Amino acid sequence: MPAPDYDSDGSRRGSRLSDVADYRAAARRRLPDFLFEYIDGGSYGENTLAANVADMAALTLRQRVLRDVSTLQMQTEVFGQTLSMPVVLSPVGLAGMYARRGEAQAARAAKAAGVPFSLSTVGVCTIGEVAAAATPPWFQLYMIKDRGFMAELLATARQAACPVLLFTVDLPVPGSRYRDARNGLNVASPAARLRQAIDGLAHPDWFWDVLVRGGPQSLGNIAAASTDLGALQEYMGWIGRNFDPSVTWKDIDWVRERWPGPLVLKGVLDAEDARAARACGVDGLVVSNHGGRQLDGAPSSVAALPAIVEAVGDDLTVLMDGGVRSGLDVLKALALGAKACLIGRAWAYALGAGGEAGVSGMLAILRQELRLAMSLTGCLDVREAGRSLLTD
C-alpha cells in the first residue's frame, strides 16, 4: 500500500518530489535524526563520500543533436537477467527501520520497475520474506565469524533461488562513522537509548509505521547469530564484534564451493585487486567504496572505474556504485565502462520518505532522467554507451 501522502506514481501530494535531493529532504523530515544520519553519513571527514558525488558531477556529457532519438533502448542484460534499465538497488542495512518491512516494500517497487533488488545480510526482512513479497533478491554476503552459520545462510540463499551473490569485501571492520558514534549507534548505553527513544517519539509517523506496526525489528537473516544484539540501534558495535576481519582471497574459494551461481565481489577499488578477483574465478565486480562509509581518502568510485574496466572489463561484468543520484549519473558511469549502476542512498532516502511508493517514484524519476540524458547525447542504446558520450 502506498503511504497515505503519496500518489500512486510516487509523487507527494501537494508538493512534488522531483529529484533524489527532494527524497533526501523528505526522509530527513520523516525519520528520527539518528536514522537519517546513519543513511546520510560517511566515515571520518566524509571526503570520499563527497568525492563520489563531486567527481560524478565534474564529468561532462557531450551534447549531440539531430540523431533521431525517438526510439531508445534502455534494457540491458546482467548475469542472465534482463533489467528494464541499467540500475540495481544496492544492499542497504537496516532498511526495515526506514519504513515498515522496508526491504519487502523496496523489493516490490524494484520488481514493478523491472530492476533487481539486493538484500543486505543485515537487512530486517529475511530472504524468504522478500522473495514472497516480490521475487528472490540478489543476496549480499558479509562474512561473520561463525562459519557454520555462514554456510547455512548461503544454503538458504541458494534454496531461495537468489540469482546473484554480492560478496562485500570492503568491510572487514566497520569504518569510523562519527555521526553514528555521536548518535550512540556503536554503544549499548542507556543514555544513548533514551536519546534515540525521544528522537523516535518526535517522529510519530515513523514511530507508528516502523516501531509499532513494523516488527519484529531484528536482523532477519542473521537473527539466530545475533542474539547478543540488544537493540538494532546498537548494531554498529555488534558488527565490530562479529564481522570476520581475517577474510582473505582464499575465502573466495570457500564461498565458491557453496555458491555455484554468479558471484560478484562488491567493494573493489584497485586494478590489482580486480585482477586478483578475476584469478579467483568470480563473475563480476562492483567498483565501490561503500558509499564513502569505509576508507575515507579512498578515490571516488567513478575515478577508480576506468582503470578497473581496462584491467578486467573484457572478462568480468563490471558494475559500480557511489554517488549515483540521477539518470545522468547512470549514463556517465556507463560511458566509463560500467554495465550497470547500483544505487544506495537514492533508494534508502526514497524508502524513508514514502515506503514502496517513494521508491517507485524515485525509480521513475531516474528512468526519465536517463531517457532524457540518452536523447540529448544521442545515445540510442544503453548497451552501446561508451567514452564518446563524454567530452574528454
State the catalytic residues. Answer: 290
Nearest approach, Cβ of residue 356 and ligand FMN (Å) = 18
Candidates 100, 101, 108, 290: give the one binding ligand FMN (CB under 6 A). Answer: 290
Beta bridge partners of 364: none
Q: Which stretch binds ligand FMN (CB under 6 A): 192-200, 236-244, 316-324, 349-357?
A: 316-324
Q: Which is nearer to ligand FMN, 343 or 385 (CB)?
A: 343
When binding is defined by CB under 6 A, the residue of 174, 337, 344, 355 that contacts ligand FMN is: 344
Q: State which residue, 247 or 376, has the beta carbon closest to ligand FMN.
A: 247
126-185 residues near ligand FMN, rule: CB under 6 A: 140, 168
Classified as helix, coil or strand, 298 is coil
Looking at beta carbons only, is 123 or 136 nearer to ligand FMN? 123
Structure-block grid coordinates of residue 21:
535531493
DSSP output for 117-185: BEE-TT-SS-HHHHHHHSSPPEEEE--BS-HHHHHHHHHHHHHTT-S-EEEE-S-SS----HHHHHTTT
Give the whole-angstrom CA distance, residue 214 versus residue 207.
9
**In this chain, which of 11, 120, 226, 377 binds ligand FMN, going by CB under 6 A?**
120
Query: Least Å distance between CB 257 and ligand FMN?
Result: 21
Chain-centroid distance, C-alpha 144: 20
* Interface residue with ligand FMN, options 90, 105, 221, 226 (CB under 6 A): 90
Residue 67 CB, nearest approach to ligand FMN (Å)? 30
For ligand FMN, which is the closer residue by CB, 348 or 353? Answer: 348
Helix, strand or coil, per DSSP, at residue 321: strand
Q: How many chain residues interact with ligand FMN (CB under 6 A)?
A: 25
Restricting to residues 229-288, name those near ligand FMN by CB under 6 A: 266, 288
Rounded to a whole number of angstroms, the minimum distance from the CB of residue 53 to ligand FMN is 7
> 5: left (phi > 0), else alpha (psi -120 to 50), else beta?
alpha
Q: Are 271 and 277 in contact (CB under 8 A)?
A: no
Rg (CA), the chain: 20
Burial class (CB in 10 A: 0-12, 13-18, 19+), 372: middle
**Residue from 192, 263, 298, 324 in contact with ligand FMN (CB under 6 A):** 324
Can you tell me the distance from the alpha carbon of 117 to that of 81, in angstroms, rounded to the nearest whole number? 12
The distance of closest approach from Cβ of residue 38 to ligand FMN in the complex, given in angstroms and rounded to an integer, is 6
For residues 93 and 116, which CB has a smaller minimum distance to ligand FMN in the complex? 93
Amino acid identity of residue 144, one-letter, is I
- Binding-residue pattern over the window 33 to 72 for ligand FMN, x denoting contact by CB under 6 A: -----xx------------x--------------------
- Residue 29: helix, strand or coil by DSSP? helix
Among 345, 353, 355, 358, binds ligand FMN (CB under 6 A): 345
Q: Does 186 bind ligand FMN (CB under 6 A)?
A: no
Q: To 5 degrees, how large is the angle CA 351–CA 97–CA 179? A: 95
291 is an interface residue for ligand FMN by CB under 6 A: yes
Nearest to 263 by CA among 254, 45, 353, 272: 254
Q: Which residues of this chain interact with ligand FMN, rule CB under 6 A?
A: 38-39, 52, 90-93, 120, 122, 140, 168, 266, 288, 290-291, 293, 321-324, 343-346, 348
